[in-house]
C-alpha cells in the first residue's frame, strides 16, 4: 500500500462503511468465514474479534457461540461499528465496541481473532502480543494477513490515477516494514512463534477476485484504499475512478490476488 498516515486511514475506513459491507460479499465475508472455521469457537465460548470492521468474522463467530457465548467486536471506526450493530440484529451475544484494540483490557477469552488488522497497528509486534495476551491460557488465537503482494495491484493503479487526476507526483511506496518480511507462510509462522504462540499453523487461502469495473472500484471504496480519496472533491474522485479503471484495462488486469495467510495457535 502507498504511504498513508494513520488519521487518513481512520477517516478512510469511516467514509467506507456502506461500501465496506458491499465489498464484504466478494472479499471480507469469505475471508472472515475462513478464519472463523480455523479459530472454531465452541458453543458458549467468549471471543474477542479485533479490528472487526462491519463484522465479517464477528458475525459468524457470534452464530457459532450461540446465545450462551459472547463476542466482543472492537474497531476504532465508529461508522463501521454502527454498521456492524445494524447487521447483528437478533444476535445479542455480539457486542460492538468503538475502541483501539491495542489497549483493550478485556481478558481471558477462549478465542482471540483478527482478520486483516494487525498490520495497521503502529507497532505491529507490541499490538499482536497484546492481542495474544487477551486469550486465556490455552486459548485459541487466529490472525489473518495478506500473503505477499496480495491487493497491491489495486493500490498501484489507484496511486497512478490519483497522481494524474490531481496533477501531483505519485505518493511514494511506503518504506519497507515488518509486514513485508513476514508475509509468507514460513516467515509468518516463525514470527507468531516468537510472539509466544504454541502449536502454530499457517493456512494459505488462495483467493482471486474478478475485477469487473464495479468490483474494481468497490475494492477502493470499501477498503483502506478509500483513505486516498478522503480529501478529494467528488469531481476529482470521478476523474480518479475513470483513470484507475483505464489504467487497469491498459495493463490487462482482470484479476486481483487476494490470498490470505491465517496464522493460528494457542496461548501457552
**What residues make contact with ligand SAM under the rule CB under 6 A?**
13, 28, 31-32, 51-53, 56-57, 74-77, 80, 100-102, 115-117, 120-121, 224
- 60: nearest Cα among 20, 98, 87: 87
- 92: nearest Cα among 106, 76, 72: 72
**CB closer to ligand SAM, 76 vs 256:** 76
Task: Name the minimum Å distance from CB 30 to ligand SAM.
Answer: 10
Residue 106 dihedral angles phi and psi, to the nearest 5°: -55, 145
Q: Distance of CA 57 to CAs 34, 40, 51, 147, 188, Å?
A: 9, 11, 10, 18, 21
**CB closer to ligand SAM, 52 vs 165:** 52
**CB closer to ligand SAM, 45 vs 52:** 52
Task: Name the minimum Å distance from CB 196 to ligand SAM.
Answer: 20
Task: Name the minimum Å distance from CB 231 to ligand SAM.
Answer: 18
**CB closer to ligand SAM, 31 vs 150:** 31
**CB closer to ligand SAM, 144 vs 165:** 144
Query: In the bound complex, which residue of the shown chain has the CB atom lying closest to ligand SAM?
Result: 53
Whether 12 and 225 have beta carbons less than 8 Å apart is answered as: yes
Distance CA 131, CA 129 (A): 5
Task: Name the minimum Å distance from CB 242 to ligand SAM.
Answer: 25
C-alpha cell at 110: 477462549
Q: Distance of CA 9 to CAs 120, 151, 161, 163, 203, Å?
A: 9, 16, 18, 18, 28
Task: Name the minimum Å distance from CB 250 to ligand SAM.
Answer: 27
Amino acid at each position: 500500500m502507498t504511504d498513508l498516515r494513520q488519521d487518513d486511514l481512520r477517516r478512510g475506513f469511516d467514509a467506507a462503511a456502506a461500501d465496506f459491507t458491499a465489498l464484504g460479499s466478494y472479499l471480507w465475508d469469505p475471508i472472515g468465514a475462513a478464519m472463523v472455521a480455523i479459530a472454531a469457537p465452541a458453543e458458549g465460548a467468549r471471543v474477542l474479534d479485533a479490528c472487526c470492521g462491519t463484522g465479517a468474522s464477528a458475525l459468524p463467530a457470534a452464530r457459532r457461540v450461540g446465545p450462551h457465548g459472547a463476542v466482543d467486536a472492537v474497531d476504532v471506526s465508529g461508522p463501521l461499528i454502527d454498521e456492524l450493530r445494524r447487521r447483528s440484529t437478533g444476535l445479542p451475544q455480539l457486542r460492538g465496541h468503538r475502541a483501539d484494540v491495542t489497549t483493550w483490557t478485556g481478558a481471558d477469552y477462549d478465542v482471540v481473532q483478527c482478520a486483516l488488522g494487525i498490520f495497521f497497528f503502529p507497532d505491529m509486534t507490541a499490538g499482536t502480543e497484546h492481542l495474544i495476551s487477551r486469550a486465556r491460557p490455552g486459548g485459541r488465537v487466529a490472525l489473518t494477513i495478506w500473503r505477499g503482494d496480495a491487493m497491491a495491484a489495486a493500490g498501484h493503479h489507484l496511486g497512478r490515477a490519483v497522481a494524474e487526476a490531481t496533477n501531483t507526483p505519485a505518493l511514494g511506496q511506503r518504506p519497507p516494514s515488518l509486514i513485508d518480511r513476514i508475509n509468507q507462510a514460513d516467515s509468518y509462522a516463525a514470527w507468531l512463534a516468537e510472539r509466544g504462540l504454541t502449536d502454530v499453523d499457517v493456512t494459505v487461502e488462495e483467493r482471486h477476485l474478478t475485477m469487473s469495473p464495479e468490483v474494481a472500484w468497490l475494492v477502493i471504496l470499501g477498503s483502506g484504499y478509500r483513505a486516498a480519496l478522503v480529501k478529494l472533491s467528488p469531481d476529482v474522485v470521478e476523474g480518479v475512478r475513470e483513470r484507475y479503471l483505464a489504467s487497469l484495462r491498459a495493463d490487462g488486469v482482470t484479476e486481483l490476488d487476494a490470498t490470505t495467510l491465517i496464522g493460528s495457535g494457542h496461548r501457552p
